Amino acid sequence: VSIPPFLFEAILYGPIDDTNSTAKIGNGIIFFTLYKKEVAMWDSLTLANANKEKLQHIRENAVLKAHEKAKEETEAKEATKQEHKKYALEATMKLEEAERKRIEDMKEKERQKVTKELELWKKQQNDAEKQKKVQKEGELHQEVEQLEEKKDEKMNKTRIPNGETSKTRLKPTKGHGSCSMFSENLKEEQLPAPRSAATIKINFTSRVFPTALRESRIAEEEEWLRKQAEARRTISADLSELEDLKEEEKNPDWLKDKGNKMFAMGNYLGAVNAYNLAVRLNNKLPLLYLNRAACHLKLRNLHKAIEDSSKALELLTPPVPDNVNARVKAYVRRGTAFCQLELYTEGLQDYEAALKIDPKNRTIEKDAEKIRHLIQGTTQDSKQMKKEFFERDDF
């Protein structure tokens, strides 16, 4: 034998402990080490003088226990796998939360730093403006004083006849507003003209990320961009060989219809190629796997038919009225492949699963009855039954 599942049958005299028992294969020899469940002396190694019905009952119980044990192991593995996924997800969420918090803290520190620098700059600008204003007022006051001194000198040179100088006559009395008015007029004459309006254009450097450059983490951003570019190159490499296809040939639905037409014409290999390309474009359509399983049945690729039927059942979840027919076909096609491999027990299980979904289907009911007869040994012509399965066109 070269393809699992392997089956070696021996009807022993009494029950054994299958947990501790072992079977080793090597050098063309299978070595069994079997432990009795109860310590006792057996009259013989195998059960002798047993009728056919009892042997069939023992065989069915053994197969049923093996299925139950395999199911329990699968469920235990699935539970362990789910626990590991849950733990990994929680750990990833914690790491992402810690990283997000760290980035937020860095941004907040940078924001506080920039705010302090901006406030300090504003304060320096205000101080400089105040200092310029004081300096300007001092210069203006000095100019006014110089002008008054020059005017006084001129007045001293000109005398009035009654002995009063022009200075005493023109000198404003205390409380008079002539001096202040003069200084105000002088100020207005020396003020600069208002600035003309203009538009300032600012050009910003283009960035991939929305944050400001001072708040970004350049190293991390470049690493992220590099990984994105590698992912795009990988996708382009995977689809590079599909570039020569026509536009409609890149549509999975069009390819599925093309495969269906080829199947109807008996071109099963061409239909498989069409379904293969459609699966590469979209691997989430259960009908692609279901139809390809029918082609593999016609081509006698039984293991591939079982694999595609199982994949279709996996995608046909949850079970709803819309996918009843597809689920029935998937069970029937996988059951047919099992029967062709002479694994009648597994095939009967799939046919019974199809009957649970569609209990009024007489064709499936008749086929299941034939498989039961084969298992019980009441039907001798198994080759004729295989031929009937393959010659049917209701896939």
Q: Using one digit for the tens of pLDDT, what is the confidence trace for 25-57?
A: 878 788 889 999 888 898 888 877 777 787 788
Give mean pLDDT, residues 342-352: 92
Residue 4 has pLDDT above 70, yes or no: no
In this predicted structure, the answer to whether residue 302 has a pLDDT above a threshold of 50 is: yes
The better pLDDT of the pair 313, 390 is held by 313
More confident residue, 127 or 203: 127
pLDDT at residue number 60: 84
Closest CA to 379 of 333, 294, 388: 388
Cβ atoms within 10 A of the Cβ of 142, count?
A: 10
pLDDT, mean over the chain: 80
Distance CA 301, CA 51 (A): 37
Q: What is the mean pLDDT of residues 120-128?
A: 91
First-to-last CA distance in the chain? 30
- Find the mean pLDDT for residues 238-262: 76
d(CA 309, CA 333): 7
pLDDT score at 328:
95
Query: What per-residue confidence (pLDDT) applies to 160?
Result: 46
pLDDT confidence band for 288 (50 / 70 / 90): very high
pLDDT higher for 259 or 152?
259
For 87-123, the pLDDT digits (tens) are 999 999 999 999 999 999 999 999 999 999 999 999 9
Q: Averaging pLDDT over each range in 156-160, 215-219, 369-373, which range is the top one?
A: 369-373
Which pTM value belongs to this model?
0.41
Residue 376 pLDDT greater than 90, yes or no: no
Predicted confidence band at 241 (pLDDT cuts at 50, 70, 90)? low
Q: Highest mean pLDDT: which of 140-144, 339-343, 381-385?
A: 339-343
The residue ranking higher by pLDDT, 276 or 172, is 276
Is the per-residue pLDDT at 235 higher than 60? no
Is the model's pLDDT at 262 over the cut of 60? yes
Give the whole-angstrom CA distance, residue 375 versus residue 342. 10
Top mean pLDDT of 7-16, 240-249, 325-334 is at 325-334
Please report which confidence band the pLDDT of residue 264 belongs to, taking 50, 70 and 90 as the band edges.
very high
Please give the C-alpha separations between residue 104 and each of 191, 216, 249, in angstroms, as whole numbers. Answer: 50, 11, 48
- For residue 206, the 8-state DSSP code is P
pLDDT tens-digit map of 130-182: 998 888 888 888 888 888 888 777 776 654 444 444 444 444 444 444 455 55
DSSP string covering 216-228: S-HHHHHHHHHHH
Interval 241-268 mean pLDDT: 82
